[in-house]
Amino acid sequence: MILTTGVACALLVGSFLLLVILRVPVAFALGIATIPVVLLDIRLTPFIIIDRMFQSYNSFILLAVPFFLLAANLMNSGKITDKLIDLARVLTGWMPGGLGHVNVAVSMLFAGISGSSTADAAGCGKILIPSMIKEGYDTRFAIAITACSSVMGVIIPPSILMIVWGGVMQVSVGALFLAGAIPGLMIGFALMATVYGYAKVYNYPIAMKPTFGTAFKAFKGAALAMLTPVFVIYGIVAGIVTPTESAIIAAFYSLFLGMVVYRTVTPREVGTILYDTGRFASISLFAIGTASVFGWLLAYYNVPRLIISVMTNMELGTIGTSLVIAFLFLFFGLFIDAIPTIIILGTVLLPVALQADISPIVFAIIGIISLAFGLVTPPYGLCLLISASIGGMNVVKVLKEVVIILIPMLLILLLIILFPEIALWLPNQLMPGSVK
Amino acid sequence: ETLRGASMFDDKHTFTKTMVKFADLVNEYYDGDVKFDLRLNGELGVEKDYVTFLNQGVAIDYTILAPSNMARFAPSIPLMDMPFLFRDLDHWNTVLSSDILAPLEKELSEKADIVIVGYAGGGTRNLLSSKPIMNMKELEGHKMRVMGAPIQAQIFDAIGASPSAIAYNEVYNAIQTGVINGFENEAASIQNLKFYEVAPNVTLTSHTITVRPIVFSGKSFRKLPEKLQAAIKKAGKEAGAYGRELESREDGIKLKEMVDAGQIKVSEFEGREKLLDMVKPVQDKFAAGINATELLGAIRATK
Amino acid sequence: MIKRSLEAFCTGLRIILAVLVGSLVIPVAMQVIARYTGIIPVFLWTEELATFIFVWVVMIGSVLAVWEGTHFDVQVLPDSPNPLILLIQKSIVLLLVGGFGFLFAWYGIEYAKFGGIQHSVMMNANLMVTHITVPLAGLFWGIFSLFRFVEAFQQYKANKRAVL
Ligand code: NA
Ligand code: NA
């Protein structure tokens, strides 16, 4: 038989949700959920499912994922993360709720070096969550703040998501990098304000009062690591490498720091790091495959077309459309990974955005920030899952904290929608040619 | 009977218009009941995916494809739009209206189970660069991105350029930042994907006049009643001619639109005839490698 | 005995995975070097080779994650205190994943053959080289899930309680 849009959509989404509730791993749930539809509809075959999945790996841009992850893992094992934490302590540890601020600040530093949020949640979380618990912070708060602050990894440049977005939708990656900087910092400050509020309510302690000596040592220790973004962004802006290739600069530089400068990484450890990178990268890349199949089937049954026609009919204007776009990305981010969402939803919404006079760069930033928030929203929020497993707690138990911390972040997103200049200002100043 | 088609583009694109025309013509030539469901905007994937669908007889029944996408199955197919194959539009049109390409059609049908029912195309590919490339000297060592088939790289290498490996969706950024200085494409793509923003200099090398076969899945085709098959073949030929006329006309219009809008600067290439001589050995070698020396000779001999 | 040989097999996979991730860097680095130095000619197959390795990395990684149980799942409902219900719930998950794996392996054979009739444009490699990962990955998702299912069942019988 031939399924209608409604039946197919209900079958797909329904079986997916059922499978997730049964605790089938999300990557497999996305794949298994397509089976009923494929069996029922005579036009589809398992072959097509396999092909859709397989072909989604056939993209050069996706190489940025393992490379940036490799760089971040090298930094985590090379104690570079520790040096960033030392710097963050000196910078923010003296405030009430010290370790909470350190957690946010180190994510900002880490974000400036790495293109990946998950590596931040894993690397910094492993150190900071236990020490926060030890100093009397509520475990739920420690997990939630680690997860929420890690989302800056893909908002503050460099960013894997921006590389993929720029490649898929023909936007200058350099301009996206610049456009993400100010919103990313604003989210960081909003998070610190939240931490301050928590510290006042729950009487959380300060972490340390820096002396001139400790401060100098911390800056010196982190200085070389902080050069990474200079290399990566310079490499792209100066036209030495393409954005995807820039990821290997980050990886090589981290390797150089770990093996030659700090001598904290032995050749044997490199093997372990390569394995860890491969394992973790492939877990999320595998999900990109099954999510692509799922998205392809939704498209096959005309679901995106329906969304567009509804949206264009509503004639929402610039701000209204931006809000709906943000909502759609946030909603998709609940269930699937950011990269397949960019490929499935981003391309569908681009014409809608252009029609509503939203600049492609602002559209990208709204999309990427919304998707970044998806990293901490269950059922499928990788950063939250990682932090929760470090803290040894069920995701459901930290939901309330996550919501509280997310609210100020959502307000920043709203500000960017209302005043797109926040995102556009920096690229306008530095790369006026690429903002049109 | 419902026949499903796919286009990577919107309803204004010539491929889409050609496929709509194809559907109209089939309906005209066939007495029975046949419906068409054409999916636009790359909803079902990109051209490379369509090849798989057609080969398997799933998801779609017909589309229009760039030959390079089928090279994985039939290595001789890229001959169809090898650079400097056609002298000019007349030559191109005469070849496509004849049966000269039948050997390629046969190979495609055997190896990929894809039936060619007509030939659209008509975009003229030119060099596109951030700095002007107007003569042999400026072409020497010009870092440019070429399409992913060895023959493309060999040809541009033979005329002195320095071909580079860059994924298509990184081209815009790569030119903007100067990783490469240009690539080659047709007016429609330059306009749609706004490549003029980073590479505003168009050099009229006219090295390729595109050939875009209208293709049908062999598996679906065999299932259709004979009368419908005949109608499809007839409609395919005519829709192809319609598409060629439309696209070659629009190609010129689009180029002019971009010139008028000040988006591109167009210049001639000094000594284009010399390029034709330089690429001949490469073309001959390629044809020999795919047992198509005779075919290449026949195309060249066509007046 | 079976467990030990499967574990040994996975150790082999882990080493291969590490080597592949390491070698992934090479073609991309060559691409950059070739463009700037001219020491080595511009290789147009770098992108192709990188994607080939990439596919193997993803598929091997997905197999290992099934063995280790590290594919991310989401707990929506709290765990039941009844070990039998837990066993049932866990069995359903493992059988679904396992079944999906065997299905994938079965249709993957056709897909590998489909790769066999194609050749990559740059290196002229038979595409079975990459497409074969589909039935292989499916097969091992299936075998590993089935093994974990039997294991959970035996543990339940031995201890009268499920091990999570
Ligand atoms: Na970042
Ligand atoms: Na999510």
Tell me the mean pLDDT in the region A378-382: 78
* Nearest CB partner across the interface for B164, out of C42, C118, C127: C42
- B12 exposed, middle or buried (CB, 10 Å; 0-12, 13-18, 19+)? exposed
pLDDT of residue A389: 85
Whether ipTM tops 0.90, in short, is: no
pLDDT, tens digit (0-9, with 9 covering 90-100), for A393-431:
888 888 899 999 999 999 999 999 999 999 999 888 876
The pair of three-digit structure tokens given for residue A413, joined into one six-digit string:
């997103």
**Which helix (H) or strand (E) element contains residue B208?**
strand B201-217
The DSSP secondary structure of B119-177, one letter per residue, reads EEEEEEEEEEESS---SHHHHTT-EEE--SSHHHHHHHHHTT-EEE---GGGHHHHHHH
Query: A434 falls in which pLDDT band (50, 70, 90)?
Result: low
pLDDT of residue B242: 95
A236-245, B131-140, B282-291, C33-42: least confidently modelled range: C33-42
pLDDT of residue A93: 74
pLDDT of residue B30: 92
The DSSP secondary structure of C23-54, one letter per residue, reads HHHHHHHHHHHHHHH-SSPPPTTHHHHHHHHH
pLDDT of residue C162: 44
As a whole number of angstroms, the distance between CA A307 and CA A332 comes to 13
B179 near C CB under 8 A: yes
CA dihedral C32, C36, C42, C44 (to 10 degrees): 30
Angle between helices B272-289 and B293-301 (to 10 degrees): 150
pLDDT of residue C10: 92
Distance A221 CA to ligand 1 centre (A): 20
- Compute mean pLDDT per 10 residues along chain B, 303 residues long, and list them: 88 91 94 89 82 88 91 89 90 92 93 94 92 91 85 89 79 84 90 88 93 94 93 94 93 93 92 90 92 92 88
> Can you give the three-state secondary structure of A64-115, one letter per residue?
HHHHHHHHHHHHHHCCHHHHHHHHHHHHHCCCCCHHHHHHHHHHHHHHHHCC
The pair of three-digit structure tokens given for residue A48, joined into one six-digit string:
């097509």
CA atoms within 13 A on the CB side of A160: 32
Split into its structural domains, chain C has a count of: 1
Top-ranked range on mean pLDDT: pick from A5-9, A251-255, A335-339, C144-148: C144-148
A contacts of B169 (beta carbons < 8 Å):
61, 167-168, 170
* Nearest CB partner across the interface for B179, out of A48, A168, A239: A239
**Which helix (H) or strand (E) element contains residue A320?**
helix A317-335
Nearest Cα of chain C lies from the Cα of B4 at a distance, in angstroms, of: 22
pLDDT, tens digit (0-9, with 9 covering 90-100), for A163-190:
888 877 778 888 898 899 999 999 999 9
Tell me the mean pLDDT in the region A92-114: 80
Q: Does C161 score more than 60 pLDDT? A: no
Nearest Cα of chain C lies from the Cα of A335 at a distance, in angstroms, of: 11
The pair of three-digit structure tokens given for residue C59, joined into one six-digit string:
């598929």
The answer to whether B269 and B125 have CB atoms below 8 angstroms apart is no
Distance B176 CA to ligand 1 centre (A): 22
Distance A391 CA to ligand 2 centre (A): 19
pLDDT of residue B285: 93
Query: A83 falls in which pLDDT band (50, 70, 90)?
Result: confident
Distance B180 CA to ligand 1 centre (A): 25
As a whole number of angstroms, the distance between CA B248 and CA B212 comes to 12
Domain range enclosing C91: 2-163
The pair of three-digit structure tokens given for residue C8, joined into one six-digit string:
């040994």
> Can you give the three-state secondary structure of A156-177, one letter per residue?
CCCCHHHHHHHHHHCCCHHHHH
C145 near B CB under 8 A: no
The owner of tokens 């092909």 is A51
CA atoms within 13 A on the CB side of A174: 27
Tell me the mean pLDDT in the region C124-148: 94
- B49 exposed, middle or buried (CB, 10 Å; 0-12, 13-18, 19+)? buried
pLDDT of residue A436: 56
Q: Does C97 score more than 90 pLDDT? A: yes
Q: Give the residue on B whose Cα is nearest the Cα of A174.
A: B173
As a whole number of angstroms, the distance between CA C13 and CA C131 comes to 18
- Please give the share of chain C, as a percent, with pLDDT higher than 70: 91
Q: For testing the chain B interface, which of A34, A51, A308 should be mutated: the one with the most B CBs within 10 Å?
A: A51
Query: A347 falls in which pLDDT band (50, 70, 90)?
Result: confident
Q: Does C38 score more than 70 pLDDT? A: no
- Please give the share of chain A, as a percent, with pLDDT higher than 90: 24
Cβ within 8 Å, pair B170-A300: no
Closest CA to B207 of B159, B254, B247, B239: B159
